[in-house]
Structure 1
């Protein structure tokens, strides 16, 4: 009975991760379109026009914070929560140090082999998002300079990417059985390799959109599956810490990836940047194949 309960809980977490991915995909659709609309609007304005979109973004952030505060309640029973805020603050160093984040030092009492698997998963997630976010960020440079896309065309491009991601995560990924989560992530990681190659070699829209479709499919599969695998580690009290560290590694990758990709893009060109990225992306997929399947 305990095993059945664990499997059910794991499947629920997997569906939850997919639903989070859907929300991200919808944001990926709406956000660039709003940005494109502001870009078109700004062409008719002079002076400090940028204050308006900045205030709009601020209002959205405040609304998001209010919504979260009002409607989201702690779901973890009191008996399974961390002992106290003081105990949590004592571990603040391990939650702020980059080295400690990669080592998951805030997670205690976990079997040595299991923590090693979690660390490998964290590195895989970081490397994937580091390179992925580079393409995502420099894509507007590429489409503007190579294809002369306008802001609105770029907005529609991101709309297509987000729509594919939302449809896949809502219709397929959230239904992936527990035993196929790792294999689904592996397939997704393989797909992003030719995605970078297609985008790097694209001189016509057909090749570009082939690469972007593969890019969207890969993202829809990889991120929710890797997060579901990470959610299997740690005790009930440590689940939040594990996922927090895991997402922190992702945020760090998204912060650093665009910087390095932009430097490479303007130094060695788009073709070499994306082709180099495709080679480097072989590491996450080959490393994930060596990680043990999620234990239920």
Structure 2
């Protein structure tokens, strides 16, 4: 039975944060530089979509590129191949882990707009570097190419860490009871980026088969478009009159301690971390699973990643937003955990079935259908869970520290994306089904945290959150 009385859906006198925030919200135009909040949300959505198109273009090809260049440097059968390719994926998230709370805190001090524009400018530079490195011939320049790919991914991680600042813009423009609707826009932007990004990658490789770098250059061009759009149309949403700027520190450990120890925020951050860890464990190995077990080429690989993005966009843009008025965030999170666990466990089953001897193996059409069903269930669960966690973290945080606390939450997600590839890729090279089996078990174990999240919904008070 879905709960109808959770304060995340309806304001109530027992939720002091909600009523306090709602009463302190300025008129819509005051929050968005004279533009309506809907217009501002649309511009942020558009900027994030275009930037994440670049991310979606590159992601499906990273394991393949890494495998190609690493194979020229060491024995392709070595377990070090998995570790190096995993590091290529993890370094992006390492930079996000470091810089997400920093950019969030700086945006609380100087405003959201300059940080978002700075991140887009960095994406232009480092995606272009990724394109240059991808064009180097593997036989002669494998070492240099791999080095440039590492530098490009690290720089793109620093630039992409501003996603928490985009979430802060959503928080600036939405009242508490509408926060989860706004956060779903970020997830929908991710989904659109993952839908069309891989399709652009496939088209680029089809028309320019000898120039893999065109993918990076195209991603850089998309980020440049987003940068220009942001410079022209994006207003400042930080309300300095309502919440004074923070002291001049790049990083404040008090924010991390608050986010992890507060009974209202801490369990949500832990669930967000563990969810992202489980999702990453299957996400970063999918391209290899498609290639090794399902014998799917690079082009069809791109189509499958586009399908994942389509499901994510549909689930968050349509399903989640339609149910948000009737379903509380903790309920969304519980359902999302169950779906992710079931989807990843079934992916383990598909992986096991695909490597059976030919006489015992299922028909390819049946295997492929099971693969699509497993992906749909897992991605739908992720789509229901992430905006709910982000909305709860935002609603239970001090208004003047939105960027910083959301940055800590995003940093936890980034840490999961660091650990995930380092665990899942070596496990994958031991046995294809291990990352999915472990991820499914990890998801289901998280259900134990849901009661704590429900109990902590009213634990936050602005006074208790004062960290300075």
Same fold (TM over 0.5): yes
Larger radius of gyration: 2
Tell whether 2:435 aligns with 1:273: yes
Q: Which stretch shows the higher mean deviation, 197-206 or 56-65?
A: 56-65
Counterpart position of 2:175: 9
* Correspondence for 1:90 among 240, 249, 256: 249
Q: Which stretch shows the higher mean deviation, 180-189 or 251-260?
A: 251-260
* Separation in 1, partners of 2:177, 2:199: 34
* Residues 29-58 of structure 1: CA deviation (Å, up to 9, x unaligned): 011112222333453x2xxx2332222222
Q: Which stretch shows the higher mean deviation, 254-263 or 141-150?
A: 254-263
Residues 231, 151 of structure 1: alpha-carbon distance in 2 compared, 3 angstrom cutoff: same
* Correspondence for 1:290 among 452, 455, 460: 452
**TM-score normalised to the size of structure 1?**
0.83
Higher helix share goes to which structure? Answer: 1
Residues 70, 252 of structure 1: alpha-carbon distance in 2 compared, 3 angstrom cutoff: farther
* Residues 157-214 of structure 1: CA deviation (Å, up to 9, x unaligned): 1222222222221222123137612101110111111111111111311221121010
* Correspondence for 1:132 among 279, 290, 294: 279
Q: Give the deviation of 1:251 after TM superposition.
A: 2.2
Counterpart position of 2:413: 250
Q: Give the deviation of 1:28 after TM superposition.
A: 1.0
Tell whether 2:185 aligns with 1:19: yes
Residues 249, 209 of structure 1: alpha-carbon distance in 2 compared, 3 angstrom cutoff: same
* Separation in 1, partners of 2:326, 2:396: 14
Tell whether 2:257 aligns with 1:103: yes
- Alpha carbons 2:208, 2:214 under 8 Å: kept: no
Residues 101, 83 of structure 1: alpha-carbon distance in 2 compared, 3 angstrom cutoff: closer
* Residues 92-148 of structure 1: CA deviation (Å, up to 9, x unaligned): 152xxxxx675347x9xxxx7xx2331221121111101211211101111111111
* Correspondence for 1:262 among 425, 429, 432: 425
Q: How does 1:1-296 map to 2 (within 5 A)?
A: 9-43=175-209, 45=210, 49-84=211-246, 87=247, 89-90=248-249, 92-94=251-253, 102-104=256-258, 115-175=262-322, 176-177=324-325, 180-202=328-350, 203=354, 204-266=367-429, 268-292=430-454, 294-295=457-458
Q: Give the deviation of 1:262 after TM superposition.
A: 1.0
SS at match of 2:272: helix
* Separation in 1, partners of 2:413, 2:244: 24
Q: Give the deviation of 1:224 after TM superposition.
A: 0.8
**TM-score normalised to the size of structure 2?**
0.54
Q: Give the deviation of 1:83 after TM superposition.
A: 2.6
- Alpha carbons 1:21, 1:220 under 8 Å: kept: yes
SS at match of 2:264: helix
* Separation in 1, partners of 2:279, 2:272: 10
* Separation in 2, partners of 1:69, 1:249: 29
* Separation in 2, partners of 1:156, 1:148: 14
Q: Which has the higher contact order (CA 8 A, sep 6+)?
A: 1
* Separation in 2, partners of 1:274, 1:190: 14
* Separation in 2, partners of 1:102, 1:190: 28
Aligned length: 276
* Separation in 2, partners of 1:102, 1:264: 31
SS at match of 1:291: helix
- Alpha carbons 1:200, 1:272 under 8 Å: kept: yes
Residues 52, 230 of structure 1: alpha-carbon distance in 2 compared, 3 angstrom cutoff: same
Residues 178, 238 of structure 1: alpha-carbon distance in 2 compared, 3 angstrom cutoff: farther
* Separation in 2, partners of 1:216, 1:162: 9
